[in-house]
Amino acid sequence: MLATVGDRGYLADMRTQSAKSGMIVLGIETSCDETAAAVVRADRAVLGEALFSQLSEHRPYGGVVPEIAARAHLVHLDDMIRRAMQQAGLGFADLDGVAATGGPGLIGGVIVGVMTAKAIALAHDLPFLAVNHLEGHALTARLTDDASFPYLLLLVSGGHCQLLAVEGIGRYRRLGTTIDDAVGEAFDKTAKMLGLGYPGGPAVEKAADRGDPARFPLPRPMVGRPGCDFSFSGLKTAVRRHIERLPPGPIDDRTLADMAASFQVAVGDILADRCLNAMERFRAGWGGATLVVAGGVAANRHLRQRLGEAAASAGMELIAPPLRLCTDNAAMVAWAGIERLRLGLSDALDFAPRPRWPLDPEAGAARAQSLAMVDGVA
């Protein structure tokens, strides 16, 4: 049953109940091409989940079209929320808060999610939580595996490739980042060059399963160098050069699989090498022994295995969330909301969606400085 604005007495009763059994938060995710809602309880139970993937809407264009994404979120979000709430067997009055991704992401979609969450919060007198999408990924290991702080995080998604020391909620220190492409972007571009279409990551992984990873010698940029930064553009260019040297016409199945496998294994070597340096720094500086991998690319089985081996060789444990919680989802948003609510944090209803929203303070400061220079203020 869905509670209505008039159910104030019922709301008060249910609040008392949920205070006993643990906080319950509705999470909303609309920052890219998944329209998702989930209901999560503070004891880490996911009570309800619904996700609409907009793949077929964007596939004809070979990538996510922001305007189409925003409209699709608008069309499908109410239904996803209704389904997640029904699966949980709860009404809005049973909630302790409403969380939505407040950025970073495609602004049209973020606005849809944030406005919806604010409306529910206002109508039901609930706290509103604007969640940083990257923090959602970063804290997933606490939802799935109860990971304790501090841990080292490898965040690998369509727009990000970073190594961060996670010290607590809202407390991130960056150890390394990509100097060019994000790793998910490299998967997506490689898929496009191979004619594997969109979305690229899962398609490359599937093709790589039946390929020979030793057939094409590909570079491993940054490997063996000190530091924890990444680079993928040289790898992407090398894939393109190999493809250009192939006989004209469609790429045969064997070559396609071998190229995908050679690319994937190179990415694995790069991630493992950078993580080894980061683990050394992390152990010395923070004393933690856990490496967490998060973000869409963390769904890749080969990379999970490779990172597991790297972690073991450094005497660290790897936590890799289940595949469906690596790619974009609303359970991670609800969970990040719970984490903030437990600390007494919530956001005002005039929160403005943020297309860019770095996790670490250094990145924010660096960007503010470069913007000031562009504006002629500095």
List residues near ligand KG4 by CB under 6 A.
32, 157-159, 184, 187-188, 199-202, 205, 295-297, 299-300, 327-328
91 interacts with, out of ligand KG4, Zn ion, none, CB within 5 to 8 A per kind:
none
Please report whether residue 101 would count as binding Zn ion according to CB under 5 A: no
**Closer by beta carbon to ligand KG4, 22 or else 202:** 202
- In the complex with ligand KG4, which residue's Cβ is closer, 82 or 324? 324
Q: Which is nearer to ligand KG4, 91 or 201 (CB)?
A: 201
Binding partner of residue 205 among ligand KG4, Zn ion, none, CB cut-off 5 to 8 Å per kind: ligand KG4
Output the smallest distance, CB 10 to Zn ion, in A.
36
Which CB, 94 or 135, lies closer to Zn ion?
135
| HEC assignment per residue over the chain | CCCCCCCHHHHHHHHHHHHHHCCEEEEEECCCCEEEEEEEECCCCEEEEEEEECHHHHHHHCCCCHHHHHHHHHHHHHHHHHHHHHHHCCCHHHCCEEEEEEECCCHHHHHHHHHHHHHHHHHCCCCEEEEEHHHHHHHHHHHHHCCCCCEEEEEECCCCEEEEEEEECCEEEEEEEECCCCHHHHHHHHHHHCCCCCCHHHHHHHHHCCCCCCCCCCCCCCCCCCCCCECCHHHHHHHHHHHHCCCCCCCCHHHHHHHHHHHHHHHHHHHHHHHHHHHHHHHHHHCCCEEEEECHHHHCHHHHHHHHHHHHHCCCEEECCCHHHCCCCCHHHHHHHHHHHHCCCCECCCCCCCCCCCCCHHHHHHHHHHHHHHHCCC
| Least Cβ distance, residue 25 to ligand KG4 (angstroms) | 20
Residues 136-175 that bind Zn ion (CB under 5 A): 157
Task: Answer with the entry of Zn ion, ligand KG4, none that 159 interacts with (C-beta below 5 to 8 A by kind).
Answer: ligand KG4
By beta-carbon proximity to Zn ion, the closer residue of 127 and 337 is: 337
User: In angstroms, what is the minimal distance from the CB of 33 to ligand KG4?
Assistant: 8
- Contact between 205 and Zn ion per CB under 5 A: no
Cα Rg, the chain, nearest whole Å: 21
Q: Does residue 328 touch Zn ion according to CB under 5 A?
A: yes
- Shortest CB 174 distance to Zn ion, Å: 17
What, of ligand KG4, Zn ion, none, does residue 188 touch, CB below 5 to 8 Å by kind?
ligand KG4
347 binds Zn ion, rule: CB under 5 A: no
Q: Is 34 in the site for Zn ion (CB under 5 A)?
A: no
Q: Does 188 bind Zn ion (CB under 5 A)?
A: no
Residue 25 contacts which entry, Zn ion, ligand KG4, none (Cβ below 5-8 A, type-dependent): none
Where on the chain is the footprint of Zn ion (CB under 5 A)?
157, 328
